[in-house]
Structure 1
Amino acid sequence: MKLKSRILQIYRGIKMNRTFILKQRKSSVPTDLKNNIKLARKGFLGESKTIYNFSKNEMKYYLSDIQRLRTRYINAPYSFILDEKVVFESMYKSRLKIPQSFSLIKKGKLIPLHQEYKMENINDLIRYLDSNEKCVIKPIRNGGGYGIHILSKIDNDYYVNSKRVTFNEISRIVEALDDYFVSEFITQGKFGASLYSETTNTIRIVTMIDPATNKAFIPIAVQRIGNKDSSPTDNWTQGGLSAEIDLETGTLGKGVTYPREGILTYHDYHPETQSKISNAVIPHWDIIKKEILEAANLYPYISYIGWDVVTTDEGYMVLEGNNFTDVNLLQVHKPLLKDERVVAFYKTHGIIK
């Protein structure tokens, strides 16, 4: 067993270092080699100097990028419940409002999941669009808004991610997919649309199980807001904005954009639409917070979840739960390790010493 455990540790270490190097190469934040080497020795990507403003802030209070990669294994061996989006739906749909999944896509073939909408082929998919106007196709095991296809019918035309397409083009797109699923499209409410109407703007809520009480708590939550660079999603590193949420009141702080130009820029108003961000209040916040905590307490062995929530005019929907969360769009607002509960949580799971 000791040998097996050691081999697993080595494998995870190699995988984390490889991911770290790839992220360093893909970062669009201006850095220099000397800075990158200096920060890498401390477990941070070169971009973190800008994102966390290390010229003014103490590095010791920030979860590093390599430590963040280690959090992938906190929920093991139950990570698949969050990694597999269809499994997540089946586990939590009795307690949370979650979009319905209609079909799996395996090697271009549709496998129905839903009794009412038996989506077995491309014709069934088109019939659903004809009646319901929109649906979404997502990777089963991916996050960050990557690989998403939003299908819609407007008047008599079909669209994929706002591009007009033919029936045959939709068919070819679906036939090229593997390990995807078709889900109902959730239309955000007036609040989300007021922030930016061209993307679905989601809330990221982090929950942790307190090792002292075995109860869930929320250390931080942010509202993500899309723009023309991130469209059709609200992904922060693709150009969107992140605004911290006051956990007591649901009030938004300023929105900050990913520093592609090497400078953090904070916005009281959306830079494209001039819609108000700072001091806007999330509707139904008390209900959202209460029910997310209740869901997090359902399975305390799944102790670390990044919940993606969209507000609707009737309440909210949980789009997915993530096995481990990006922390740059969180810690751009404040360091996680100034919260003693967070420190105790990460220490318990061997993420920090």
Structure 2
Amino acid sequence: MPSQGLGLAPRLRYLAARARRIDVGSVVERAKETSQQHGKWTPAVLVDMLWSAGFRQVGFQDYVDYDFAILSRAERATYMTHPVSNELSQKYDHPDFRHKFHDKVEFDRVFSEHLHREWMIVEDDNADAVRAFTERHGTIVTKEPVGQAGTGVHRYRAEDVDDWDAFHRGLLERGEVLIEEVIRQHADLAAVCPGTVNTTRVTAFFDGENTHILAMAQKFGRGAVSDQMTFGGFYTMLDENGHAVGPGYDSHAHVHEKHPDSGFVIADFQLPMVDEVKAFVDRVARVVPQVQYVGWDIVVTPDGPVLVEGNWGAGVYENKPSVTGIRTGHKPRYRAAIGF
């Protein structure tokens, strides 16, 4: 695919917005954290962080997470970063169709056949239906229509509910209007963390004919309703065959050679049904072809992959050199598929 570039105007707008929101204290703290971890002089790190942000499209947290302080310029150039990912989202995810991903209720409607689980909407007059749904499944997940990083997601057990009218009323008052059946994950995922449904993030680009898988990351939870970092979760990158490339890590300087609860060695993880996952991503990518660049959250069940959600602002999952020993990222794959 020939290079189409990523327009200067969106980049300047993004930089201007970042400059207005910059938290100087937070940037300094990140510089101190990096200097302590890698034995670098703090002022030099701070200058390099600011230079990288202003002229190399590297987010401050990207700089920390992907160990830019120890990488050469050529190595840094192989890393995907959040500012670049944001440009791709703005260019290739049509604004008239983003709501189909942003609103969880609308997402379930549009992608219903790919969810492979029961779901329902909480309404003013359906308290009996909510009770029947919850008692039938035993445990349910509720979601607020708009949220990110796992916010607005809750889990309830039928046996804990004493007053069903009050439960129904509370869901409405809190805006938890989407109810879903809990996903039963594959035994290979449950072996790592049985208390959380562990999702696989597959970042993909649909060019109108073919779906290109750009990166795969496996997220693991800590027993909470979500595997996001805000719930104590972490991730490891997967290779093309779905095998972990090293230990797990997060954006809070935590490294997990083993899962803290199960003791599972993260580097030994192998995603089951990899070929089925790739074929599944190709199918879901064609449902709303106007949104081409998506971070798909998928769970492998005993019967195959199911869809959790799609993120039109795909975000970035990348390799961490100090943890894996691998000093290159996924940006060449993005360039080859998208042509920027």
TM-score scaled to structure 2, two decimals?
0.76
- Tell me how far apart the structure 1 counterparts of residues 251 and 28 of structure 2 sit (CA, whole Å): 10
Distance 1:298 1:25 in 2: 40
Distance 1:219 1:66 in 2: 17
Asked if 2 retains the 8 angstrom alpha-carbon contact of 1:20 and 1:65, the reply is no
SS at match of 2:246: strand
User: Which of 299, 302, 312 in structure 2 is aligned with 1:313?
Assistant: 302
Determine helix, strand or coil for the equivalent of 1:309: strand
Instruction: Measure how far apart 1:288 and its partner are.
Output: 1.9
Offset of residue 23 of structure 1? 12
Which of 244, 252, 260 is 1:260 aligned to?
A: 252
Aligned twin of 1:216: 211
What is the CA-CA distance between 1:208 and the residue it aligns to?
0.6
Q: Deviation per CA, 1:251-305, whole angstroms, max 9, x where unpaired?
A: 23323221424xx6351x2133212332332222221211221332444332111
Amino acid at match of 1:197: P
Within 5 Å, give how 1:235-314 maps onto structure 2.
235-236=228-229, 238-248=231-241, 250-261=242-253, 265-267=255-257, 269-314=258-303
Displacement after TM superposition at 1:147 (Å): 1.2
- Whether 1:17 and 2:14 are equivalent positions in the alignment is no
State whether structure 2 residue 102 is matched by structure 1 residue 89: no
Q: Which residue of 2 aligns with 1:132?
A: 137
Look up the SS of the partner of 2:58 in the other structure. coil
Deviation per residue, 1:237-260 (Å, 9 max, x gap): 653221222323x32332322142
1:63 aligns to what?
Answer: 80
Aligned pair partner of 2:203 in 206, 210, 213? 206
Q: How many residues align?
A: 309
- Are 1:49 and 2:67 counterparts? no
> Could you say which residue in structure 2 is the equivalent of 1:330?
318
* 2-structure distance, mates of 1:24, 1:166: 47
* One-letter amino acid of the counterpart of residue 148, structure 1: V
Maintained 8 Å contact 2:134/2:157: yes
The separation in 2 between residues aligned to 1:10 and 1:252, in whole angstroms, is 33
- Contact 1:308 / 1:321 at 8 angstroms: preserved in 2? yes
| Counterparts of residues 68-147 of structure 1 (less than 5 Å) | 68-73=85-90, 74-77=92-95, 78-94=97-113, 96-104=114-122, 110=123, 120-147=125-152
Secondary structure in structure 2 of the residue aligned to 1:62: coil
Report if the CA contact (8 A) 1:24-1:46 is conserved: no
**Structure 2 unaligned spans of 5+:** 1-8, 35-41
Look up the equivalent residue of 2:58 and give its one-letter code. F
Query: 1:139-158 counterparts in 2 under 5 A?
Result: 139-154=144-159, 157-158=160-161
Say if 1:252 and 1:330 are closer, same or farther in 2 by CA, change over 3 A. Answer: same
What do the CA deviations read for 1:65-94 (whole angstroms, capped 9, x no partner)? Answer: 322333332211321222223333333334
- 1:16 and 1:69 in contact (8 A); partners too: no
Deviation at 1:308, TM superposition (A): 0.9
Distance 1:53 1:254, change over 3 A: same
State how far apart, in whole Å, the 2-side matches of 1:225 and 1:125 are.
29
Specify the alignment match of 1:161 in structure 2.
none
Say whether the 8 Å CA contact 1:226–1:239 is kept in structure 2: yes
Amino acid aligned to 1:92: F
Q: Comparing both structures, which one devotes a greater share of its residues to strand?
A: 1
Per-residue displacement from partner, 1:305-337 (whole Å, max 9, x unpaired)? 11111122222311111112221x334475221
Change (3 A) 1:215 1:222: same
31, 34, 40: which one pairs with 2:53?
A: 40
State whether structure 2 residue 241 is matched by structure 1 residue 226. no
* TM-score normalised according to structure 1 size: 0.74
Identity %: 19
Q: Distance in 2 between matches of 1:122 and 1:254?
A: 47
How far off is 1:150 after superposition? 0.9
Taking the aligned partners of 2:205 and 2:25, their CA distance within structure 1 comes to: 28
Q: C-alpha separation between the residues in 1 aligned to 2:179 and 2:29?
A: 32
Q: 1-side partners of 2:28 and 2:167: how far apart? A: 32
Q: Which has the higher helix share?
A: 2
Residues 18-62 of structure 1: CA distance to partner in whole angstroms, max 9, x if unpaired? Answer: 796479959996467835534432433333233111133332222
Aligned to 2:178: 181
Partners of 1:63 and 1:335 within 8 A in 2: yes
